[in-house]
Amino acid sequence: MTLQAGASAFIQCNPPDSYPGLSFSWYRDSPSNIIVNTHRVFISDKTGDLYFSYVTETDSGDYYCLVRNVMDTAPDDTDISVRTSQPTKLTVSSGDPIESAATIALNAEDEDVLKGGTETLNCFANGYPRPDIYWSRLDDFGNEVALPRRSRFHNWNHIFILPDVTEEDSGIYRCTAENSFGTAVTEANIIVRAPPVIQPLPDRDLVEGSSVSWTCEATGSEPITYTWYGIQQDPLQTGGRIVVGANTLTINDLRASDLGRYQCVAQNQWGSTQSSAKLHIGDVTPAWLTPIGTYYAVPGSTVTMTTRWEADPEPTFKWTKDGRPITSGGRYTITPDGNLVIDGVTSEDEGDYWCTLENRWGTATSNGNLILTDPTRLPAGRGPTDLTLDTGTTGVIPCDATFDPRLDHQYLWYRNGQKIDFDLESENYERVEGGGLRIKNAYLAQDAVFTCSAETPVDKEEGTSNVNVIAPNHPPVGVEATNLDTTTGDLLWHPSSDNGAPPSEYSVEAMSNHEPVWREVQRGPISELQSAPDPDTRSLLKLTNLSPWTCYYFRVMTINDLGISRPSSQSNRACTGIALS
């Protein structure tokens, strides 16, 4: 294909069918010249197609799509010819790029996703200058609302990622592409489907001649169906002494032959799950399923020494420490399940512990021990500190804790309470020496509270950093032109968020019936703006040097130390009068 500089381009990969899926890459002319995603170049991770929002003369060449099965572990230096497409030749003529409005080249598509999975939406736009991409969510009335806090963005916002989705995340998500010549949008409906989650069924004691019932309860996307299985693993149906309801099982006139395990299977279109219960006569000698084991605790904390056992009827529990009996009271609590809870642990609590289970069929004993450790600390000068970043820059938040050397430890990082996934968000974050965090390619969503959590299996210490990301202002809103006469008028607007850097200047552009392109008509310092008359709270600018007998649309931008804002939405249509001689 032959294109003029500034034109958009789209090259299909046309990959073969493959299970379970493919990964995609592209190169130009030579395998060593790999194409990478940039602000104007995008490789779809769904189709492998290659997009250019606009091309330059340096993009000329032969393009090859290279595919790899996601299960392929062969080294990269193997023969790639069987995985490479035929070349597509792109020729870009020299010259100044042609300016054009943003248009959607790759639409976000409706998606069904399982609860707990990760959903990704792609969106790419053509246009010159290169369009900026913004994501938002719409409520039931079409109004923009906040995105889920787990939202992530990759490749200059061309990929929207929503990990660990919940049913509350279902809805319409909008991708907006915008440059100085126009705006375009695409929307996708995310529907979150949930496989069944079933409540455990309780075991029942058999009393001959009586009845027993179970109710199978599951949550998940409807419709959910229930199937019951008996001791022979055959589906049960209503008949004789057995009554099967929509999600219930009743067995009447119980007999010894009914002893055994019964199972409920809950199923919907997106998965199935099961729970089983035992119909039995209580005659189980106490036994430990796992030993009590070793526990670590820091002074002043609460530790729970858990018990896992089986017995029927339920046993009594006798705890001792170093041969001395322990009873509930004060700092000690023995739970109905036999767990021992110790509040406000001190050095006196270190030592060996024993627990004995007992019912009418026998006893069983297990032992464990409690060891005190040094607490985790973030010493002064080694914890997180506040940070200010310009958009697109990099900064480091320190976090260097001290730990008890006997314990494993880790550093976890959170942004506004949401855990950072360093694999999924490698373009924006990476770990540094100690437990520090490097913020890369800072963007406005990273204007947040970052928390470092230095953790061991027994305690944690947290420190926070307030990160202020400074960016060009958000565009003004509520732009209205009024009171136009022959050559002057008033222009009103509401300032938007200054993104940490107040504006110093404004710029007004106009488009008229005589000149249907946007041109700057007025520029000046913010200090020359006036306040609109009460009760209007907008800023007011006195327009000058307008042309008589002309109809205008206006839009406003503001300028701060980081650059110029995106243009506001255009104003109402307003017309000047005829000049009188």
- Beta bridge mates, 34: 27
Q: Report pLDDT for 195.
A: 92
Q: Are strands 159-162 and 119-122 parallel, antiparallel or unpaired?
A: antiparallel
Omega prior to 525 cis, within 30 of 0: no
Alpha-carbon gap, residue 113 to 105, rounded angstroms: 24
Place 118 in a pLDDT band, splitting at 50, 70 and 90: very high
Domains assigned to the chain: 2-93 (2.60.40.10), 100-193 (2.60.40.10), 197-280 (2.60.40.10), 284-372 (2.60.40.10), 387-470 (2.60.40.10), 477-575 (2.60.40.10)
Given this model, what pLDDT does residue 74 score? 65
pLDDT score recorded for residue 579: 64
What is the phi-psi region of residue 416: left when phi exceeds 0, alpha when psi lies from -120 to 50, beta otherwise?
left
The CA dihedral of 218, 220, 226, 230, to the nearest 10 degrees, is -50
Is residue 150 a contact partner of residue 419, using CB atoms and an 8 Å limit? no
Rounded Cα distance, 529 and 488, in Å: 15
* Two structure tokens written together for 398: 């320190």
SS3 (DSSP) at 568: coil
pLDDT at 282: 64
Assign 385 a pLDDT band (cuts: 50, 70, 90): very high
pLDDT tier, 77 (very low <50, low <70, confident <90, very high otherwise) = low
Reading phi first (left if > 0) and then psi (alpha if -120 to 50, else beta), residue 527 is in: alpha
Residues in the chain: 581
Quote the pLDDT of residue 8.
Answer: 93
Over the stretch 184-227, which tens digit does the pLDDT of each residue have?
Answer: 999 999 999 999 999 999 988 777 788 999 999 999 999 999 99
Is the per-residue pLDDT at 580 higher than 80? no
| pLDDT-derived band at 70, boundaries 50, 70, 90 | confident
Average pLDDT rounded to a whole number, residues 121-140 = 91
At 125 the pLDDT is 95
Choose between 19 and 551: higher pLDDT. Answer: 551
Reading the block at residue 396, the tokens are 């480091």
Contact at 8 Å (CB) between 555 and 563?
Answer: no
Q: Would the pLDDT of 107 be above 90?
A: yes
The mean pLDDT of 247-267, rounded to a whole number, is: 92
Could you read off the pLDDT of 424-447 as tens digits, one per residue?
888 899 999 889 999 998 888 888
What digits encode the pLDDT tens for the residues 538-569?
999 999 999 999 999 999 999 999 899 989 98
pLDDT at 158: 93
Which segments of 56-209 are extended strands (E)?
Answer: 61-69, 88-93, 100-106, 111-114, 119-122, 124-128, 132-138, 144-145, 152-154, 159-162, 171-179, 182-193, 197-198, 204-205
With b for 16 or more beta-carbon neighbours within 10 A and e for fewer, the 316-348 pattern comes to ebbbebeeeebeeeeeeebeeebbbebeebeee
Planar angle of CA 528, 569, 186, nearest 5 degrees: 150
